[in-house]
Amino acid sequence: MTVTEGWPEAPAPLPAPVVDNHCHLDHRIKGGLLIPVEEALDRAAAVGVTRIVQVGCDLESSEWAVEAAREHDAVVAAVALHPNDAARMDDPVLDGALSRIDELAADPAVRAVGETGLDYFRTGPEGRPRQQRSFREHIAIATRHDRTLVIHDRDAHDDVLAVLDDTGIPDRVVMHCFSGGPEFALECLERGAFLSFAGTVTFKNAEYLREALRVTPLDRVLVETDAPFLTPEPYRGRPNASFLVPHTVRRIADVLDLDLVSLCRQIDENTSRAFGGPWASHGGQRT
């Protein structure tokens, strides 16, 4: 696949900058990067997506995220073991991997610990205790290093809340790709979480997500891609990238009947609060 083959046209730029707070720039298809990092950042910036949180899911991608954040001032890193990966590790391997995540979380380029959490869609009952143990350890790492906790929750709403209530909730929590309805949204908001809406909020069959969005205070709303996954309408099923965020932001503005400029500014402010303040230089070369 060439760099441009199969990609949608870039949308009209947003009128004010926003942040893609969950992206996987390193995800590979057929052995190659979807878009080279420099081009991905340039394409995003051209439509008003000026900052990106690069999210790790295992040791390799977490280490890659830290390096990318060091090289590019538009990027900060999140580091973690994805719950499905944690479930497949035996205890000694998991212990060693968690120790390395703890080391990486101390790096100034890292703003978040995640994506961690629980996934009962792909992991059966036999793997869930290990997922829960990993989730608890990630919460401790986020708290120890004063990092934002980024939660992956799939078909595990009740247990995610139970673990948070039992361990104690870090100061900053982001529900990545929020996947519940309005009742679950209120439960998360009660615990101080930011709710991050991905391209799924644009899907025709996702009215429950739009209902959740409507009960979310504007100062808790974030936007993300989860690229290269969850491409928003009208391009569902094609590869996703940060430059497609404007489709999701415009849909959110329509659902909430908000002025687009005001919404963009609020999302940008929310993201800075959610991830510990303004992006600071951490050794990167890009501005």
Question: How confident is the model over 213-251, as pLDDT tens digits?
Answer: 999 999 999 999 999 999 999 999 888 999 999 999 999
pLDDT of residue 33 exceeding 60:
no
Report residue 284's pLDDT band, with 50, 70 and 90 as the boundaries: very low
pLDDT at 162: 98
pLDDT at 63: 98
- Sheet with 194-197: strands ordered across: 18-23, 49-55, 75-79, 110-119, 148-154, 173-175, 194-197, 221-223
Count of helix runs (H) and strand runs (E) in the chain: 10, 10
282 is in an annotated binding site: no
How far apart, in whole angstroms, are the C-alpha atoms of residue 259 and residue 265? Answer: 10
pLDDT at 28: 66
Residues 59-67: contacts with CB under 8 Å, at least 24 apart = 59/97, 59/100, 59/101, 61/24, 61/26, 62/100, 62/101, 62/104, 63/104, 64/26, 65/26, 65/110, 66/104, 66/107, 66/109, 66/110
Mean pLDDT of 106-129: 95
24 is in an annotated binding site: yes
Structure tokens that stand for 160 in this block: 């995610």
**Phi-psi label, residue 146: left if phi above 0, alpha if psi -120 to 50, beta otherwise:** left
Dihedral of the CA atoms 109, 99, 29, 242 (nearest 10)? -30
171 is in an annotated binding site: no
176 is in an annotated binding site: yes
How far apart, in whole angstroms, are the C-alpha atoms of residue 150 and residue 117? Answer: 8
Question: How confident is the model over 150-160, as pLDDT tens digits?
Answer: 999 999 999 99
pLDDT at 3: 42
How far apart, in whole angstroms, are the C-alpha atoms of residue 138 and residue 283? Answer: 26
Domains in the chain, start-ordered, CATH in brackets?
Answer: 18-275 (3.20.20.140)
pLDDT at 35: 83
Can you state the percent helix, strand and coil of the chain, rounding each to 5? 45, 20, 35
pLDDT at 27: 82
Mean pLDDT of 124-136: 95
pLDDT of residue 49 exceeding 60:
yes
- Rounded to two decimals, the pTM is 0.94
pLDDT at 5: 57
82 is in an annotated binding site: no
Please, which residues bridge with residue 152 across strands? 117
pLDDT at 144: 98
Report the chain's mean pLDDT, rounded to a whole number: 93
pLDDT of residue 172 exceeding 70:
yes
Question: How confident is the model over 253-278, as pLDDT tens digits?
Answer: 999 999 999 999 999 999 999 998 77
What string of DSSP letters covers 233-275?
A: TTSTTS---GGGHHHHHHHHHHHHT--HHHHHHHHHHHHHHHT
pLDDT at 278: 74
pLDDT at 225: 98
Report residue 29's pLDDT band, with 50, 70 and 90 as the boundaries: low
Burial class (CB in 10 A: 0-12, 13-18, 19+), 206: middle
How far apart, in whole angstroms, are the C-alpha atoms of residue 240 and residue 38? Answer: 16
Mean pLDDT of 199-218: 98
